[in-house]
Amino acid sequence: MSNDLTTAINELLAAQDPRADSPVYTYIPRLQRPGLIPAESVAATTSTRGPALPPPPQPSETHGAMMTLAREAQAREDFATAKSLLGSIVALMTSQSPGRPVDASILQQLALVTYKSKQPTALEALRDACAILATLEPDTTNDTETLGLWGAVHKRLWQLTGDRTSLDGAVRALERGFFIRNDYYNGINLGYMLNERALAQTDLAEATADFILARRVRREVCEIAEAWWKEASKTGSEQPPDKIYWALVTLAEAALGLGDEDGSKRWFEEAKALQPPPAKWMIESTETQLANLRELLKAAAAKGIPLQAPPPPVGGVTH
């Protein structure tokens, strides 16, 4: 298979047989379309070409090969190609097993690259991602990956449209994901969205309550991420580099949200120094997130929301 996936996808679409249910039949020529092969064709093939050709690849082979290509495209930040490949996988699986649900992890990846592709527009891509995730029943599911993605998509919808429903949807999903799994991914995003909601509140008491909740969540996130990092740092640990990166920048964001600017910078520098180096989009995403959080904290201070608890009175509590 060619490494130039963009060219490959274009060729695939151009060469696609209009009778095919999915472009994957063009991209993987040995894969047979559903249907019966005429007897005369079988006889001709056997007589003129000798031994029969090997059987077409099983679905697991096909899906695995295309998933590998999709991961490679995503690593190159070619989210449009990853979206095309994953969409082809979903179409293939649906055509082969019409009554069988598509694996949730594939739909989750498709939703991720769909909103990151920003095609045809950022807003339409987010709405498309919502439609994909809606098939996984985000309002009732206990799948924390689905909840995390639902929260991330609604966070971006809120930032693009200012729609309060999207803001509340993001908070609810991330809150459920964090309390179910007690993980730093959902937790750090929940803390951020609580800060966002605080600024949207018209009541100072409600805004202050959201900021207090955000601080509590971030303290828990620090404990979870630091414990994970301690284990991952041990000799013999083989954690994926990207997972280590996200844990470290989670600590950077949590420190910033708790008022520790120096600690935040230390964690971020440690994350950027990892080998192999983190992907450019990962670093840029972190820089944007930290910059946005700084702006949120400034706006909260200007609004009169207390960012930290007041110090205790000198000499202790008076009666």
Domain range for 66: 1-28+60-102
pTM score, whole prediction: 0.72
The reply to whether 9 and 64 lie within a common domain is yes
97 and 1 fall within a common domain: yes
pLDDT at 270 over 70: yes
| Whether pLDDT at 46 is above 60 | no
Query: What does the chain look like in DSSP terms, one character per residue?
Result: --S-HHHHHHHHHHH--TT-SSTHHHHSTTSPPSSPPPHHHHHHHHHHHSSPPPPPPPHHHHHHHHHHHHHHHHHTT-HHHHHHHHHHHHHHHHHH-TTSPPPHHHHHHHHHHHHHHT-S-HHHHHHHHHHHHHTT-TTT---HHHHHHHHHHHHHHHHHH--HHHHHHHHHHHHHHHHHH--HHHHHHHHHHHHHHHHH-SSHHHHHHHHHHHHHHHHHHHHHHHHHHHHHTSTT----HHHHHHHHHHHHHHHHHTT-HHHHHHHHHHHHT-SSPPPHHHHHHHHHHHHHHHHHHHHHHHHT--SSPPPPPTTS---
Residue 218 lies in a domain: no
In a domain, 14, yes or no: yes
Question: Does some domain include residue 90?
Answer: yes
Span 207-257, pLDDT tens digits: 999 999 999 999 999 999 999 999 998 877 789 999 999 999 999 999 999
Average pLDDT of span 97-123: 92
Average pLDDT, the chain: 82
pLDDT given for residue 315 in this prediction: 52
Same domain for 88 and 134? no
Do the domain assignments include residue 119?
yes
- Tell me: do 2 and 91 sit in the same domain: yes
Q: Judge whether 158 lies within some domain.
A: yes
7 pLDDT band, cuts 50/70/90, is: low
Please write the tens of the pLDDT for every residue from 126-151. Answer: 999 999 999 999 999 999 999 999 99
Average pLDDT of span 36-62:
48
Residue 207 inside a domain? The answer is: no
Q: Is residue 197 part of a domain?
A: no
Same domain? 96 vs 125: no
Mean pLDDT within 23-42 = 40
Q: How many domains does the chain have?
A: 2
* 166 & 77 share domain: no
Tens digits of residue pLDDT in 275-288: 999 989 899 999 99
